[in-house]
């Protein structure tokens, strides 16, 4: 199967089969073509070439796209559940689910797990929730550079096998480079010998001229052999590892108490709520959608005023806040310029953005052209280089693909300050070392 848009290749030479009661996760970076594959299978798009077939031909397909019911009275999670319930009630033979875990709270995720695992037919789904994938899928299809690879098992097993493949590829690439370097050395030796012979050749010295011509042909032959090896090589160069300096250390001293809340009341959302956060703690703020998590954050930051009670940050506390809407960014500034500050220069800013998987062409564009996920990565980079000693994150992994989540996890796991995180991503919370949980 092949598909392109506006002359740009999206997927190429993609072939796979899903059968029986298989539960298959489709993985890949944002923009890699995952949703395109589901839309083709659902009959909403046609491939430029290739064949899509079902057995039996009259198979009933249940397709859940990313954009759910436009009912404005419902939350995003409620829309997802409503539309999926309608799909299930139509009794489809196969389910195609495009990021069904987005916006679901823990209760919604548990409900979705039961729906997928109990479905009597095959399910092909896209999700960035690795814990969810571990619970429900028995095979992973990964799309990378337009091509598809299949891995047996759940996400964790895929991750192990992927690591082994990456390490093996790196070894093969090094061996290939050594072989090519040897060939290039031989080619240079022959060229140098040829040049020396040509210098010493006279118009009457036919023997030396014949020898020089033979050496020249050998050099040309060697160059062709090197180029052929390069052209035929199936070992790709490993991606560059963007090593970073220790940028994420808090630059401000603070007291032992980071936050203290006493008998907080706000409308009918929070009642007699109290909390103390101490220096260095890593806390998850969880609860059903609508339980008041974002409201509590706004109260902590002073964006809204409580009806009763006290909210106070400790001495020397400097908070960094990642909101769901990312309104803190200047939309018309160039991405790279938005990050550069007294704490981080141009070179390290570029490295950090590349480490967070922003492509070079995006780094030199205005912020307003970034996707929601890309804005989240830029804002988190700003927060982490600001020197803040108390970082508050509201659903930081929304709209992020798995490689982006892993880059952010690595950064947060090394952050020595205090964290308060709103997230339903259980895998993410575990990876960043959350120690305790506050349930609203």
Pair 335, 362: CB distance under 8 Å:
yes
Instruction: Check if 3-153 and 257-439 are the same fold.
Output: yes
Residue 186's CB: how many other CB atoms inside 10 A?
A: 15
Give the dihedral of Cα atoms 368, 145, 424, 290; nearest 10 deg: 40
Distance CA 420, CA 394 (A): 9
Residue with tokens 């009670």: 309
Q: What is the pLDDT of residue 373?
A: 77
Nearest 5°: phi and psi at 284? Answer: -100, 135
Residue 71's CB: how many other CB atoms inside 10 A?
A: 11
Distance CA 95, CA 42 (A): 10
Of the candidates 268, 266, 276, the one whose C-alpha atom is nearest the C-alpha of residue 309 is 266
The class level of CATH for 257-439 reads alpha beta
Q: What is the pLDDT of residue 348?
A: 87
Q: What is the pLDDT of residue 332?
A: 85
Superfamily of domain 3-153: P-loop containing nucleotide triphosphate hydrolases (3.40.50.300)
Decide: helix, strand or coil at residue 322: strand
Distance CA 195, CA 131 (A): 64
Distance CA 363, CA 330 (A): 14
Per-residue pLDDT of the chain (440 residues; tens, 9 = 90+): 667 766 677 778 788 899 889 999 999 887 788 989 999 999 998 888 888 888 888 899 999 998 755 555 777 778 888 899 999 999 999 999 999 998 888 889 999 999 999 999 999 999 999 999 999 999 999 998 878 999 999 999 999 999 898 888 888 888 888 887 887 787 777 777 767 766 665 555 667 667 767 777 777 777 777 777 766 666 667 666 555 544 567 777 899 999 999 999 999 999 999 999 999 999 999 988 888 999 999 999 999 999 999 999 999 999 999 887 766 777 789 999 999 988 888 988 898 888 877 888 889 999 888 877 788 888 888 888 888 999 999 988 887 888 888 888 888 888 889 999 999 899 999 999 999 999 98
Domain boundaries of the chain, sorted by first residue: 3-153, 163-232, 257-439
Q: What is the pLDDT of residue 205?
A: 63
Q: What is the pLDDT of residue 358?
A: 84
Nearest 5°: phi and psi at 17? Answer: -130, 135
Pair 180, 160: CB distance under 8 Å:
no
Give the dihedral of Cα atoms 103, 105, 110, 111; nearest 10 deg: -70
Helices (H) and strands (E) in the chain, counts: 13, 16
């Amino acid at each position: 199967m092949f598909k392109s848009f506006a002359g740009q290749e999206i997927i190429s030479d993609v072939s796979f089969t899903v059968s029986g009661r298989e539960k298959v996760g489709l993985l890949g970076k944002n923009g890699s073509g995952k949703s395109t594959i589901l839309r083709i299978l659902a009959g909403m798009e046609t491939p430029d070439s290739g064949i899509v077939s079902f057995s039996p031909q009259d198979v009933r397909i249940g397709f859940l796209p990313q954009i759910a019911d436009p009912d404005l009275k419902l939350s995003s999670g409620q829309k997802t559940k409503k539309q999926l319930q309608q799909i299930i009630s139509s009794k489809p033979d196969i389910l195609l689910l495009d990021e069904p875990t987005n916006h679901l709270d823990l209760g919604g995720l548990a409900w979705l797990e039961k729906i997928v695992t109990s479905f009597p037919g095959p399910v092909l789904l896209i999700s960035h929730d690795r814990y969810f994938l571990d619970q429900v899928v028995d095979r992973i299809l990964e799309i990378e550079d337009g091509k598809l690879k299949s891995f047996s098992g759940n996400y964790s097993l895929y991750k192990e096998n992927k690591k082994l493949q990456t390490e093996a590829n790196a070894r093969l690439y090094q061996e290939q480079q050594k072989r090519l370097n040897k060939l290039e050395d031989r080619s240079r030796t022959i060229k140098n010998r040829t040049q020396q012979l040509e210098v010493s050749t006279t118009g009457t010295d036919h023997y030396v001229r014949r020898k020089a011509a033979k050496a020249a042909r050998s050099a040309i032959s060697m160059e062709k052999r090197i180029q052929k090896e390069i052209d035929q090589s199936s070992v790709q160069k490993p991606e560059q590892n963007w090593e970073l300096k220790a940028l994420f250390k808090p630059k401000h001293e603070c007291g032992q108490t980071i936050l203290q809340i006493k008998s907080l009341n706000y409308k009918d959302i929070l009642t007699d709520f109290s909390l103390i956060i101490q220096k260095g703690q890593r806390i998850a703020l969880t609860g059903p959608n609508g339980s008041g998590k974002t409201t509590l954050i706004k109260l902590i930051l002073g964006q809204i005023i409580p009806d009763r009670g006290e909210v106070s940050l400790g001495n020397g506390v400097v908070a960094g806040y990642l909101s769901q809407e990312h309104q803190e960014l200047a939309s018309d500034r160039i991405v790279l310029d938005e990050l550069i500050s007294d704490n981080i220069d141009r070179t390290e800013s570029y490295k950090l953005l590349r480490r967070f998987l922003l492509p070079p062409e995006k780094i030199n564009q205005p912020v307003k052209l970034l996707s929601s996920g890309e804005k989240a990565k830029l804002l988190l980079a700003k927060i982490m280089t600001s020197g803040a000693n108390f970082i508050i994150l509201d659903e930081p992994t929304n709209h992020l693909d798995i490689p982006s989540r892993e880059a952010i996890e690595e950064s947060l796991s090394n952050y020595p300050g205090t964290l308060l995180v709103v997230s339903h991503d259980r895998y993410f919370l575990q990876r960043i070392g959350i120690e305790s949980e506050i349930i609203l």
